[in-house]
Amino acid sequence: MMRIETDRLIITEFTMDMAQAVHENSLDEDNRRFVPDEVFETLEEARETIEFLISVYGTNDGPQVHPVITRQDGKNIGYVQMVPMEDGTWEIGYHIAKAYTGNGYATEAVKAFLPEMAGRVGISEVYGICLKENIASVHVLKKCGFEPVFEGIGDYQGEKREVFRSVRKI
């Protein structure tokens, strides 16, 4: 079982009792704007997603998504993930619930998670891709050592959008 601890966070594996927090954390306006496919409108949608995510732990067959929990109060504040892409590369992803943003949690989680997951899935580089207008996400990637490789119009969730694409060697 995965358990990564930092000064302020615990990165672990999902359990079904986290569905309510996952549902609530997904509903903020930033999630709707930047990653609408990661919004769970109902508790049942969150439960189904968690069930699937648990089923792919320990494989390279799907997204490796792990909850981020605060050490101080045990709250589920978001997630960090490694997602396989169609071309065989992997992408980092993360979301911190709106009430907890601006505290460096995403940067802390990505820095701790990246080397551990890269080793587990057997890769030496990972991509960071987000909408260019998602300034906070671009900032996290840069603080975590990702180097820009492309900025401009690209495919983002099936639409042509202004994207920021970066890469980091592990």
How far apart are alpha carbons 155 and 141 in whole angstroms? 19
Per-residue pLDDT tens digits for 19-78: 999 999 999 888 888 888 888 999 999 999 999 999 999 888 899 999 999 999 999 999
Provide the 3-class DSSP secondary structure of residue 106: helix
Q: Is the pLDDT of residue 148 over 90?
A: yes
Quote the pLDDT of residue 92: 97
Any idea which residue has 């990505």 for tokens?
Answer: 110
**Which two structure tokens, joined as six digits, stand for 20?**
């309510």
Q: What is the pTM of this model?
A: 0.94
The residues, any chain, with a CB within 8 Å of residue 83's CB and separated by 6 or more, are: 63, 64, 90, 91, 92, 93
Give the integer Cα–Cα distance in Å for 123 and 170. Answer: 8
pLDDT score at 36: 83
Q: Could you give the 3-state DSSP secondary structure of residue 79?
A: strand
Radius of gyration of the chain (CA): 15
